[in-house]
Chains A and B, each alone.
Chain A
Amino acid sequence: MTPFYRMLHRMFSPISVAIITVLLIFSVQNVTASEALSHRNYSADEKRQLGFEIAQELRCPASDNRSLFDSETQIANELKGHIFQKLDQGQSKQEIIDFMVARFGERIRYQPSLHSGTLALWLIPIGLFFFTIIGGIAWIIKQPQTPIKLHLNENEYE
Chain B
Amino acid sequence: MIPEIGHLLLIIAAALSLLLAVIPMVGLYKRNAYLISYYRPISNMMISAFLGAIICLAISFISNDFSVAYVADHSNTQLATFYKVAAIWGSHEGSMLFWVSAIALWTVIIANTHNNEADHAFFIRTISVLAAVICGFSLFIIFTSNPFVRLLPNFPIEGRDLNPILQNIGLIIHPPLLFLGYVGLTVCFAAAVAALMGKQFTQQHARYLRPWAILAWVFLTGGNAFGSWWAYNELGWGGWWFWDPVENASFIPWLVATALVHSVVMTGRFGQCKKLTLFLAILAFSLSLLGTFIVRSGVVQSVHAFAADPTRGMSILLLLVLFSGSALALFATRAQYIQSTDKFALISRNSLILIGNLLLVIAALSVLLGSYYPIIYRVITGVTISVGAPYFNSIFVPILVLLSLLMGLAPLLRWQQDSAKNLKVPAFLLGISIVLAAIINNSFEQANAWFFIGLMSVTWLVLTLIIAMIQHQLHTSSITQTRRFYAMCVAHLGVAVAIFAGSVVSNLEQEEVLSMGPNQGRTLAGYTFVFENTQQVSTNSYDALQANIRIMDEEETTVGYAYPQRQTFKTNGMQMSAAGVYSTLGKDLYVSMGNQLNDTEYLVRISYKPMVNWLWIGAILMMLAGVWVVIACRDSTASKHSPCRTNDQKTSRLEEATS
- Using a CB–CB distance below 8 Å, which chain A residues touch chain B? 3-4, 6-7, 10-11, 16, 19-20, 23, 26-28, 30-31, 34, 52, 56-57, 59, 63-67, 70, 72, 77, 105-112, 117-118, 120-122, 124-125, 128-129, 132-133, 136-137, 140-141, 143-146, 148, 150-151, 154-158
Contacts and interface: CB of A to CB of B under 8 A. Distances in A.
A4 B386 contact: no
A112 B392 CA distance: 11
Interface of B: 237-239, 242, 244-245, 301-303, 305, 342-347, 351, 354-355, 358-359, 361-362, 365-366, 369-370, 373, 377, 381, 383-391, 394-395, 399, 411, 414-417, 419-420, 423-424, 427, 431, 434-435, 437-438, 441-442, 447-449, 452, 468, 471-472, 475-477, 481-482, 484-485, 511, 513, 577, 594-595, 603, 640
Contact of A64 (B302, B441, B485, B513): B302
Nearest to A156: B414
B377 A118 contact: yes
A108 B374 CA distance: 12
A20 B399 CA distance: 20
B343 A133 contact: no
Most buried by A among B245, B395, B424: B395
A124 B366 CA distance: 8
Nearest to B446: A30
Most buried by A among B415, B485, B603: B415
B270 to A, nearest CB: 10
Contact of B595 (A77, A128, A129): A77
A110 B302 CA distance: 14
Given A65-B245, A125-B366, A157 B448 contact: no
A110 B595 contact: no
B447 A128 contact: no
A146 B442 CA distance: 49
Contacts of B302: 64-65
Given A6-B420, A65-B303, A156-B416, A118 B395 contact: no
B344 A148 contact: yes
Contact of B423 (A11, A125, A141): A11
A61 B135 CA distance: 42
Contacts of A129: 359, 362, 399
B347 to A, nearest CB: 7
Given A107-B385, A156-B414, A124 B343 contact: no
A28 B215 CA distance: 41
B481 A155 contact: yes
Contacts of B383: 105-106, 117
A106 B391 CA distance: 14
Contact of A57 (B385, B390, B595): B390
Contact of B305 (A64, A125, A157): A64
Contacts of A4: 346-347, 420
Contacts of B387: 110, 112, 121
A115 to B, nearest CB: 10
Contacts, number: 192
Contacts of B434: 19-20, 23
B366 A110 contact: no
Contact of B346 (A11, A107, A140, A154): A140
Given A27-B449, A59-B386, A155-B481, A143 B343 contact: yes
Contact of A125 (B362, B594, B595): B362
B475 A157 contact: yes
B385 A109 contact: yes
A111 B387 CA distance: 6
Nearest to B396: A125
A106 B385 CA distance: 5
A141 B346 contact: yes
B237 A128 contact: no
Contacts of B399: 129
Contacts of B373: 118, 120-121
Given A27-B447, A140-B346, A157-B471, A10 B427 contact: yes
Most buried by B among A124, A154, A155, A158: A158
Nearest to A53: B390
B347 A157 contact: no
A20 B441 CA distance: 15
Contacts of B381: 117
Given A27-B447, A106-B386, A132-B362, 12 more contacts: A27-B438, A28-B449, A63-B303, A65-B242, A70-B239, A72-B577, A72-B594, A77-B603, A106-B383, A143-B342, A148-B344, A157-B411
Contacts of A64: 301-303, 305
